[in-house]
Chain A
């Protein structure tokens, strides 16, 4: 009887130690997911800050197509007001399309292209977009690591006990998969 009790106590200690270590691992990995999510937010914020400056610079040039500017401004507003990360990424995909159209249209304004401020803003925007893309990749990797750790046996049992759930990946929105369509009417003739 005593022997059985000793064995049970040893097993209980081992299980408890495992649960502590699994819990700590989940905490670290979930924090990394949240941290990486915050990194995306930082870059998105930077992008939202750059766009009004870019639009204002373009507005100063007479004849710049109004609908293109409005499309960018509207897409920015819906991205800023998005409720969750997936909505925000979808809105950002639309914003990217609007910006690509805006950049393509600006090509036909030599004075605008010669404006150093505009060029600088455009380069900064391009660098920020690159950072957003990388941040998304890192986010998906941290989510993958987190999901793997909570779904594998026997960690899935511990994850169930502590209420850790699967996180969603950031997927490319439909508008991101489409090529930007620019018609001749967008250009200054």
Chain B
């Protein structure tokens, strides 16, 4: 089985992200604690408001005053951005310097001596070189002796890329004679660090930590203390000491920086621990086999399902080295290395949340100060777009690692149910951190906003439901798409597919956190039932789809050029794997059948769409049908929603039938079938509206009985039909799975799977159907770009 990315990669990215989040937040907030910055900021705004066109705007042209103010105040924002940039440059430079100096530091601190060849050590050096060769290292490291380490038998790998070094304790060299096996284990462990390329990651990690302390934490404390000095000491501006509490939330800053510092430290140690375990595993692989009589320490990880995801605080500890019993277990069962821990999942979530907070600060400043826009969701949308795909990719990698660490190399169902909620809880905790710190804050800034923070926290809690649900769906899809045993290629493509598909949804979810009222993520269930019948519709048939109004943020998904390609990837990746696979029983028949089922569903929609005008003409009074300009919903809109509802129900039915009939790849198959239905139904609305015109359903005068085709309108409609269809497909699939399972159990005894038998000759080549669908999807995505652009401009206008 191909191995997934190691936990180190995740943790290292987490560390960098955390430092970025903490640094960004701190540098941004500390800007005003430097008197020079403060003076510059005040001078810019004083100059701006000295302009009467800004300070006394024309009541008929506020927009002009807003534009002028934006242009005038932009230098203040860019000065702040430059300040942040210099902060990160310094952070990077200090980290690079510390990393570059680490060999000198280690040599000086340990009083290391080069282990040069003489008549006494020729044999040992020869043996060391043999071990190096066995480990597969082409280039020999420089060996050093720690002569004062006479009571320990350890080693240490270090050095820069062009000169790797290994430190050997004096006590270790003595073990060459006294305990050759232990000597070999330690040396192979250190050589494994070189083979695993751990040195750079590890010492960069240490360097980043110290750089964070030196450039972020210490200056923060220093400047906070400095700002507490009497005003004249700090700046000429007499107002500074009075205004700065409103500009800089100092207790909040210190609290958040402390939390980030603790997290950075914990992540740093987590990186060091996992590298030790990897080196143990590799070192053991190249070592001589342990005698069977040596049982070794007890195995800490039960091999069964319960051990696949661990809360393993006591075992792992929080230090730089893992617990001995855990190391012993990994030596015997290296697959344990791949198992993700729930702490890691939660930690990644917290880091993502913190990064979201920090980026929010920056982009809000960008929109407010540089673009002069108030009440815009553009910033949140940008941050949501940045956070969603990496979080999804991490979840997929985590599931992949869970499979690699599983005794059967499978993704178990409980992985899909446990990992997403933990990750989501971490995200929510990270997002909520500023709110929690505010609750302990007594500054005027915090007191002014204390009325709302409980409400913000409430939104986070309720918004967690769709986040968890989305995560579980992604996990379930990944498990299905990879048949539970992901290969490297398959897993990577699945990761791309999932990240692309989640992109618009996470973006909308993130925006909903900042939105109030019905657009908030806190009100999903209520909104769907708020829709009522169209005014004047006595039959009550043409109900509005209330969700459309209750979830304005869904508009960001509906008119998004990534939405359809993302969904298409969700069925394309598993379908290619199934259709190109040569092994029997890969379910090719299901993938050939699904488009046909979908097409049948689409044909039913077309038939219903043709019948709909006649039925509406009979059921709805003419006055209502011709009410095209009244306030609120008019009949044209109601007619479209009725057609949309038919298409949605058809997609749900198709998904239900497909999922119920299949035994594997159910989410992908259901999505494929529903996508075909959506495409056919969207095309079918041309016929429905043509018939409606033929029978004068809405028009007050006879119209031409000809179809009207506007490509961009069709593309947008396909997005709408697919989006709302998906909302129905999601619950339909598990219902179909359940119904199919029950039906198979009752109707016939278990026999060989139909998918394991020879595939019947398909009436239509599956590849051709899928290819056509891909073309339609891409075309629709391209055609919807202009409409989406207008939509985005509306959301970003403020």
| Same complex | no
